[in-house]
Homo-oligomer: A and B are copies of this chain.
């Protein structure tokens, strides 16, 4: 039986499972054992942990719970590689994940191979509930792919040698984007959120995380939203104008953060020879003034907006505007290309490049209910103190993001590819 024939027997979900699992390996194939094991800060996790934790998800919720007779690959791994699932028992302290030099990277890869083979072998007999969990596991792993990339970037930035993980791509010079245009809208009731009621087996647009629903009606006030994000060049002007030294642009918590951390530029920026450089997965290079600014915190985004006489969009304004565009077209993560925001090339690029801070606190939609059981601890736990980001970034796997997608981080965090789109009241 030839390869095509086999493929024809495969469901899209089974292909997606294989593709997702494979991309994670590709993203990590240049890593040394140490690169994969070290934890550079409490917010980040070692690459090895991401590799194992995503595997633990499938082993636990698919194999252990739905495949009769499945024996754990290693009885000790659940304690090591569980994360926030309190219902699943004790966990290894989050900020000590970098202590686990054993199992090695190769042993974790073997763990992946074992679980992948077990899922493949069990596929024909997997019940629908298990397949739903496979789909959820794929989306879960895609989230970790992005974290894996940004955590590695942070780790490499902490090495005084500033090594490049990926080779630099040749950059095609791009013209500077023109001035911001505004997409305007009057008062209107819009439908917000994903139509499904929490996670489902659907692929692509059929799937959503629990926090994206329930779909509900929301009232927008008259406003305009920018047709592109803020650029590095514009950000350099903010710095040159004393933006980081002037308290009136800043929220009180943001100003305290600036003072305590002696913050004066986006993360990974450094002034060298009179110009700004940034550190990326291809090493340290001059900033591209035409590219979207990234690695800024909510505090910085909010201060920039105040300085620019604008504000951040609400997540509803963003979703209403983005729904007119196709998520698939953005500059996102795949195995081949560079992981870096690219200069905006005209049009309203709502997807990819940089996550866009909104002015909306991450809170539940009307009618939101956490799912029952361990998997249900998923997103609702984090609904205090964080802000919503929308649109995905250059590190978000292709196909992972959609208009209703809600990412969330604390207002001081900026090691993700986070950027700024402006809005204004009409």
> Which residues in A have some Cβ–Cβ distance to B below 8 Å?
32-38, 40, 48, 76, 79-80, 84, 86-87, 92, 96, 98-105, 155-156, 158-161, 163, 187, 189, 216-219, 221, 223, 247-248, 250-255, 298-299, 302, 311, 359-361, 363-364, 366-367, 377, 381-385, 387, 411, 425
Oligomer copy total: 4
**Bound form: Cα–Cα A367–B286 in Å:** 38
User: Which residues of chain B are within 8 angstroms of A92 by Cβ–Cβ distance?
Assistant: 160
B254 to A384, Cβ gap below 8 A?
yes
**Bound form: Cα–Cα A383–B359 in Å:** 10
Q: Which of B189, B252, B367 contacts A381 (CB 8 A)?
A: B252
User: Which residues of chain B are within 8 angstroms of A223 by Cβ–Cβ distance?
Assistant: 366
User: Which residues of chain B are within 8 angstroms of A298 by Cβ–Cβ distance?
Assistant: 384
A101 to B253, Cβ gap below 8 A?
no
Chain B nearest Cβ from A26, distance in angstroms: 19
Given contacts A34-B104, A384-B302, A385-B385, contact A248 B160 (CB under 8 A): no
User: Which residues of chain B are within 8 angstroms of A366 by Cβ–Cβ distance?
Assistant: 221, 223, 425
Identify the closest chain B residue to A190 (Cβ): B219
Chain B nearest Cβ from A32, distance in angstroms: 5
Given contacts A92-B160, A102-B161, 15 further A-B contacts (CB under 8 A): A33-B34, A34-B36, A38-B38, A86-B247, A86-B255, A96-B158, A99-B158, A100-B159, A100-B160, A100-B161, A221-B366, A221-B367, A251-B382, A251-B383, A253-B384
User: Which residues of chain B are within 8 angstroms of A76 by Cβ–Cβ distance?
Assistant: 160-161
User: Which residues of chain B are within 8 angstroms of A155 by Cβ–Cβ distance?
Assistant: 99, 101
Identify the closest chain B residue to A164 (Cβ): B102
**Bound form: Cα–Cα A250–B382 in Å:** 10
User: Which residues of chain B are within 8 angstroms of A299 by Cβ–Cβ distance?
Assistant: 384
**Bound form: Cα–Cα A48–B159 in Å:** 14
Identify the closest chain B residue to A79 (Cβ): B160
Nearest 9 A/B pairs, CB to CB: A361-B361, A34-B37, A221-B366, A33-B33, A99-B158, A219-B219, A34-B101, A252-B381, A86-B247
Identify the closest chain B residue to A219 (Cβ): B219
B219 to A189, Cβ gap below 8 A?
yes
Identify the closest chain B residue to A216 (Cβ): B221
Q: Which of B34, B221, B250 contacts A38 (CB 8 A)?
A: B34
Given contacts A359-B363, A384-B302, A385-B385, contact A217 B187 (CB under 8 A): yes
Of the A-B pairs whose beta carbons lie under 8 Å apart in the complex, a sample of 21, sorted by A's number, is A32-B102, A33-B34, A34-B34, A34-B102, A37-B37, A40-B99, A79-B160, A80-B161, A84-B252, A187-B217, A221-B367, A251-B382, A252-B381, A254-B384, A299-B384, A302-B384, A359-B364, A367-B425, A384-B387, A384-B411, A385-B411
